[in-house]
Amino acid sequence: MHRGYIKVWRKIKDSFFYTDSAIVHLWIHLLLEANHKEKTFMFNGKKITLKKGQLITGRKKLSKETGIAESKIYRTMKMLESEQQIEQQTYNKYTIVTITNYNNYHENEQQNEQQTNSKRTADEHKQELKRIKEELKRIKEELEKEKAKKKGTTKKLVRDNPPTFEEWTEYCKEKGYSGIANKTYEYYQNMNWEDSQGNPLKNWKSKLLANWFKADNKDKQSDLFTQTCHICGKPIKDFKSKLEGKSFCRQECYNEGKELLRKGKL
């Protein structure tokens, strides 16, 4: 079974013999029958080697294959030879015909296969690059999710385990800074237990020591005994907390005062 193909240029329409269908028929037949690569075989008991673009034939054989009269075959072959389209080597029982510009009509199969393979390889390479990019994108997204999850977990632990107001106040009182206990506690509570830079508050005692326990904020000794509670009127001795200029002697009074201030009744 014949395989492959030949190229027929449109400029064949400009040829002087294009209007003669028998010549066109014979010319196409020669192109199709010519070897597309070198071939060696036995013919009439003799070893023959045909090169690319050659075929072994005869007038009778061509007439039988094309249905064109032998006389027409003879004249056409002579005409093609005179136009340097073919070359003929005539022997007793056969003729070797050579298409002079065969490469113009037949594309090298190996080259064609290489081009096909190259295109296939390029397409596969593009697909592989696309797959790698998608995989890298997926990994990046997973890493970002994991990072966000860890960051969120850290902040959650800080928020879920803040010091109590009593612990905070007691530490401030111990260090002599009870006057700023309420202000600082509310500040970090409103900041969701993060500092001004948005970082989780890891050690609240260290933060108080570094940022708040300054000389200007230190309690005055007289303040612990001369002020009275704005709720019950008792002298403030042990517990001391201020809110909008009001002082309170204990946590219950502070909570009540905060509520009254919110309602505008204090």
pLDDT attached to residue 241:
66
- Between these two residues, 214 and 233, which has the higher pLDDT value? 214
Q: Could you tell me the CA-to-CA distances from 65 to 42, 81, 154, 219, 226 in Å, in that order?
A: 21, 20, 89, 121, 131
For position 160, what pLDDT does the model report?
Answer: 61
Residue pLDDT, tens place only, 65-122: 999 999 999 999 999 999 898 999 988 888 999 998 888 777 654 555 566 666 677 7
pLDDT tens, residue by residue, 56-67:
999 999 999 999
Q: Which CATH class is domain 10-104?
A: mainly alpha
Residue 107 has what pLDDT?
60
pLDDT per residue as tens digits for the range 239-254: 656 776 677 778 888 8
End-to-end CA distance of the chain: 109
With a cut of 90, say whether residue 151 has pLDDT above it.
no
Lowest-pLDDT range of 3-7, 12-16, 137-141: 3-7
179 neighbors 240 (Cβ within 8 angstroms): yes
How far is Cα of residue 105 from the mean position of the Cα atoms in its chain?
A: 44
List helix spans (H) across the chain.
21-33, 59-66, 70-82, 109-160, 165-175, 181-190, 204-211, 223-226, 251-263
How many residues are there in the chain? 266
Q: Look at residue 143 and give its three-state secondary structure.
A: helix
DSSP 8-state symbol, 36? S
pLDDT of residue 225: 47
Is 43 in a helix, a strand, or coil?
strand
Q: What confidence score (pLDDT) does residue 25 get?
A: 93
Which of 42-46, 134-138, 220-224 bottoms out in mean pLDDT, i.e. has the lowest?
A: 220-224
Residue 177 near residue 212 (C-beta atoms within 8 A): yes
For tokens 């260290």, the residue is: 206
Which residues lie below 8 Å from residue 242, measured CB to CB, with a gap of 6+?
Answer: 179, 182, 183, 248
**C-alpha span between 174 and 168 (Å, rounded):** 10
- Radius of gyration, alpha carbons of the chain: 52
Instruction: Read off the tokens for 22.
Output: 């028998």
What is the 8-class DSSP label of residue 88? E
Beta bridge partners of 28: none
Q: Looking at residue 43, what is its pLDDT? A: 84
Task: Quote the pLDDT of residue 1.
Answer: 41
Residue range 171-189, pLDDT digits in tens: 898 888 888 999 999 999 8
Name the more confident of 118 and 194. 194
Q: Is 13 helix (H, G, I), strand (E, B) or coil?
A: helix
Structure confidence at residue 96 (pLDDT): 92
Domain boundaries, the chain: 10-104, 165-263
Q: How confident is the model at residue 159 (pLDDT cuts 50, 70, 90)?
A: low
Report the chain's mean pLDDT, rounded to a whole number: 81
